[in-house]
């Protein structure tokens, strides 16, 4: 799946432009096969294989079922299903309104806007330059890897009270990452300075690298893309601050802190 | 006998033609059969390769079908009330023939679908298959991803065990923290009786009314939306000029 080198190589060929027409005429009549039975047969094989796999899985492993729900008894640790554990792990570093609402919301919006960040109708359907293609791959791969890393940590390295544990020792190691007690927050002034410096840095980088993007994307899309990247970088930075120096909040306001 | 059946009016009313043999008949088969007409009549041989799609979109769809079938069967045994939900799980385990297997299949297929949908998205990205004219289908796809996650989330509460209850409370607490619309969120304009969490749970805490809400979302609302979006998704794959080539 992640093996994209061959895809890259193939996609950079000239044939790119003919993709729509190709479906109807075909580059070469002789090289076309009928859907029925060739493709349908392959699909049948895939269906059988996948079904067999899941049937086998269900014979061997039972779905979990714990004691009946009891609002009076809070378990030592509650883990969401694995695909949400990433968000849960983010709760260590962010308040719920960031970890559960703002960040996932922006990830979804960012994903949705992806095709509009790479191509502009104004410039037609020119193939994406190689360099920005690589850039896109890197950003997507980093994001996806990071997402699964969060899941990994949340699923296997968190014990009672969401404290850091190693899967091979059930005993909690180190002190609670969650414990607000030993963590500290920036003063409002320091927080404003840090955030201001970060935004300035983002703006400078955005200005520095506008060359290969701005003409193709236009101002609005470029600003949106830089904002999304800034959000991604911000999340990484906040996590680093927390892990390295136990910073709880960078900005503290009466309405919400992060 | 065989001939009598194959030439009977009933058989021919259902299957208009005999099994296709010539290339021409094969093309017609794909076009005239309801279940096959998702396919183009012919396609470049190159696209049959596994590495074109890694089958991830198709497997997501297959798992959705498996989930629909097993889900329907589970509905025969499951009652979405706090008095019965957990008991019905136990019945599935001990009393219903193949009940545990049914539950397992539904559960593992659900996990599998989340995985294959994410893998499908990744392959679309690396193949640059979201580029024009496929931008819209990409957006439909992202909506399907969100729906898949919501389907899993709403299904997670239904067994009404400790795992379900507390995992769901983690999720709904996040909802409560939504800025402006959540009672515990920044700049909140609402209280515990009017925030999004309340409407979602049908109360201040997870209880009877949350269970029925999650159930209705899980077995009706979200699947219907997902089915409609999938129809649009498949339709657009065809209309956008089939799969992106070359890959
Ligand atoms: C319920 C979930 C989904 C199902 C059942 C589904 C199914 C499919 C199928 C069967 C195809 C045909 C080719 C292939 O298998 O790759 C396809 C193509 C496509 N899907 Fe999905 N999909 C789903 C979710 C998504 C998601 C989450 C995205 C992106 C975020 C997406 C974006 C696309 C795009 C852009 C194409 C066209 C690819 C091309 O032309 O090469 N889909 N989908």
**pLDDT computed for residue A28 by the predictor:** 47
Q: Is the minimum distance from the CB of B233 to ligand 1 under 6 angstroms?
A: yes
**pLDDT computed for residue A127 by the predictor:** 60
Distance CA B153, CA B208 (A): 17
- Provide the number of structural domains found in chain A: 2
Distance CA B148, CA A224 (A): 27
Question: Do A188 and A224 lie in a common domain?
Answer: yes
Asked whether the predicted pLDDT for residue A254 surpasses 80, the reply is: no
Asked whether the predicted pLDDT for residue A124 surpasses 50, the reply is: no
Q: Is the minimum distance from the CB of B243 to ligand 1 under 6 angstroms?
A: yes
Question: Do A126 and A89 lie in a common domain?
Answer: yes
Distance CA A199, CA A136 (A): 22
Question: Do A29 and A141 lie in a common domain?
Answer: no
Task: Tell me whether residues B241 and A20 touch, CB distance under 8 A.
Answer: yes
- A66 domain-assigned: no
pLDDT tens-digit map of A20-44: 333 444 444 557 777 777 788 888 9
- A124 domain-assigned: yes
- A77 domain-assigned: no
**pLDDT computed for residue A182 by the predictor:** 67
Question: Do A47 and A124 lie in a common domain?
Answer: no
Question: Do A90 and A204 lie in a common domain?
Answer: yes
How many angstroms is it from B57 CA to the middle of ligand 1? 5
**pLDDT computed for residue B139 by the predictor:** 96
Boundaries of domain holding A12: 2-60
The candidate with the shortest Cα–Cα distance to B64, out of A54, A108, A219, is A54
How many angstroms is it from A38 CA to the middle of ligand 1? 21
- A169 domain-assigned: yes
pLDDT tens-digit map of A203-238: 889 888 887 778 777 888 888 988 999 899 888 888
- A90 domain-assigned: yes
Residue B109: other Cβ atoms inside 10 A = 26
How many angstroms is it from B203 CA to the middle of ligand 1? 37
**pLDDT computed for residue A8 by the predictor:** 33
Task: Tell me whether residues B101 and A59 touch, CB distance under 8 A.
Answer: yes
Interface membership of A129 toward B (CB under 8 Å) = no
**pLDDT computed for residue A14 by the predictor:** 29
What pTM does this model have?
Answer: 0.85
Question: Do A123 and A23 lie in a common domain?
Answer: no
How distant is the Cα of B10 from the closest Cα of chain A, in angstroms?
24
Question: Do A107 and A181 lie in a common domain?
Answer: yes
**pLDDT computed for residue B31 by the predictor:** 78
**pLDDT computed for residue A128 by the predictor:** 62
| DSSP at A256 | -
Q: Residue A231 burial (CB < 10 Å; 0-12/13-18/19+)? A: middle
Selecting from B55, B128, B152 the residue whose C-beta is nearest the C-beta of A46 gives B55
- A258 domain-assigned: no
Question: Do A41 and A106 lie in a common domain?
Answer: no
Question: Do A169 and A125 lie in a common domain?
Answer: yes
The DSSP element (H or E) to which B133 belongs, if any, is none
Selecting from B26, B145, B153 the residue whose C-beta is nearest the C-beta of A34 gives B26
Query: Which residues share a beta bridge with A158?
Result: A164
Q: Which residue has the higher pLDDT, A59 or B20?
A: A59
**pLDDT computed for residue B61 by the predictor:** 95
Q: Which of A50-54, A94-98, B154-158 has the lowest mean pLDDT?
A: A94-98
Asked whether the predicted pLDDT for residue A121 surpasses 60, the reply is: no
Q: Could you say which residues from 94 to 133 on chain B have a Cβ atom under 8 Å away from some Cβ of chain A?
A: 100-101, 103-109, 111-112, 114, 118-119, 121-123, 125-128, 130-133
Question: Do A53 and A86 lie in a common domain?
Answer: no
User: Mean pLDDT, 10 residues at a time, over chain B (247 residues)?
Assistant: 88 82 81 77 74 83 97 96 95 94 97 96 88 89 97 95 90 84 78 82 89 96 97 88 57
Question: Do A240 and A140 lie in a common domain?
Answer: yes
How many angstroms is it from B121 CA to the middle of ligand 1? 7
Question: Do A46 and A128 lie in a common domain?
Answer: no
The candidate with the shortest Cα–Cα distance to A137, out of B146, B56, B127, B133, is B127
Instruction: Tell me the chain B residues in contact with residue A63 when contact means C-beta distances shorter than 8 Å.
Output: 100, 103-104, 106-108
Ligand 1: residue of B40, B62, B120, B142 to mutate (most ligand atoms within 8 A of CB) is B120
Q: Which residue has the higher pLDDT, A48 or A7?
A: A48
Average pLDDT for residues A94-123, to the nearest whole number? 83
Secondary structure (3-state) at A128: coil
**A–B CB contacts, 8 A cutoff, strictly below:** 259
Nearest CA to ligand 1 atom 5: B61
Q: Is the minimum distance from the CB of B130 to ligand 1 under 6 angstroms?
A: yes
Q: Is the peptide bond before B133 cis (omega within 30 degrees of 0)?
A: yes
Q: What is the ipTM of this complex?
A: 0.85
- A230 domain-assigned: yes
- A255 domain-assigned: no
Q: Are A4 and A133 in contact (CB under 8 A)?
A: no
**pLDDT computed for residue B187 by the predictor:** 74
Task: Tell me whether residues B165 and A13 touch, CB distance under 8 A.
Answer: no
| Structural domains present in chain B | 56-239 (1.20.810.10)
**pLDDT computed for residue B237 by the predictor:** 87
- Concatenating the DSSP letter of every residue in B14-69 gives HS-SPPP-SHHHHHHHHHH-TTTTTS-SEEEGGGGSHHHHTTHHHHHHHHHHHHHH
């Amino acid at each position: 799946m992640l093996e994209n080198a061959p895809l890259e190589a193939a996609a950079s060929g000239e044939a790119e432009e003919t993709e729509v027409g190709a479906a109807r005429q075909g580059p070469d009549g002789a090289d076309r096969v009928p859907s029925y039975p060739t493709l349908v047969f392959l699909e049948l094989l895939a269906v059988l294989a996948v079904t067999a796999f899941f049937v086998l899985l269900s014979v061997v492993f039972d779905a979990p079922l714990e004691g009946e729900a009891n609002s009076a008894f809070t378990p030592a640790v509650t883990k969401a299903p694995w695909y949400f554990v990433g968000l849960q792990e983010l709760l260590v570093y962010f308040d719920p309104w960031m970890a559960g609402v703002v960040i996932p919301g922006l990830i979804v919006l960012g994903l949705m806007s992806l095709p509009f960040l790479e191509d502009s109708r104004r410039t037609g359907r020119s193939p994406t330059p190689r360099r920005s293609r690589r850039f896109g791959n890197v950003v997507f791969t980093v994001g996806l890897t990071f997402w699964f890393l969060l899941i990994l940590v949340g699923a296997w390295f968190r014990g009672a009270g969401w404290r850091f544990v190693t899967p091979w020792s059930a005993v909690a190691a180190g002190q609670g990452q969650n414990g607000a007690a030993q963590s500290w927050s920036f003063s409002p002034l320091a927080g404003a300075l840090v955030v201001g410096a970060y935004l300035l840095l983002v703006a400078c980088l955005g200005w520095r690298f506008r060359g290969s993007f701005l003409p193709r994307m236009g101002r609005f899309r470029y600003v949106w893309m830089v904002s999304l990247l800034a959000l991604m970088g911000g999340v990484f930075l906040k996590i680093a601050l927390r892990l390295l120096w136990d910073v709880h909040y960078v900005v503290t306001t009466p309405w919400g802190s992060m | 006998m065989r001939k009598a059946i194959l030439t009977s009016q009933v058989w021919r009313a259902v299957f208009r033609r005999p099994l296709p043999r010539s290339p021409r008949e094969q093309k017609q088969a794909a076009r005239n059969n309801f279940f096959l007409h998702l396919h183009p009549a012919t396609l470049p041989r190159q696209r049959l390769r596994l590495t074109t799609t890694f089958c991830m979109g198709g497997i997501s769809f297959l798992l959705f079908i498996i989930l629909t079938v097993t889900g329907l069967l589970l509905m025969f045994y499951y009652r979405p009330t706090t008095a019965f939900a957990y008991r019905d799980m136990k019945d599935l385990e001990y009393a219903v023939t193949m009940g545990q297997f049914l539950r397992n299949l539904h559960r593992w297929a659900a996990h599998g679908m989340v995985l294959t949908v994410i893998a499908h998205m990744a392959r679309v990205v690396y193949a640059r298959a979201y580029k024009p004219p496929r931008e819209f289908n990409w957006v439909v796809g992202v909506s399907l991803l969100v729906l898949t996650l919501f389907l899993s989330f709403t299904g997670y509460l239904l067994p009404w065990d400790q795992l379900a209850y507390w995992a769901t409370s983690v999720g709904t607490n996040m909802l409560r923290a939504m800025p402006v619309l959540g009672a515990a969120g920044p700049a909140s304009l609402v209280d515990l009786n009017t925030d999004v969490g309340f409407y979602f749970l049908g109360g201040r805490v997870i209880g009877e009314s949350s269970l029925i809400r999650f159930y209705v979302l899980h077995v009706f609302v979200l699947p219907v939306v997902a089915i409609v979006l999938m129809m649009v998704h498949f339709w657009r794959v065809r209309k956008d000029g089939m799969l992106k080539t070359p890959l």
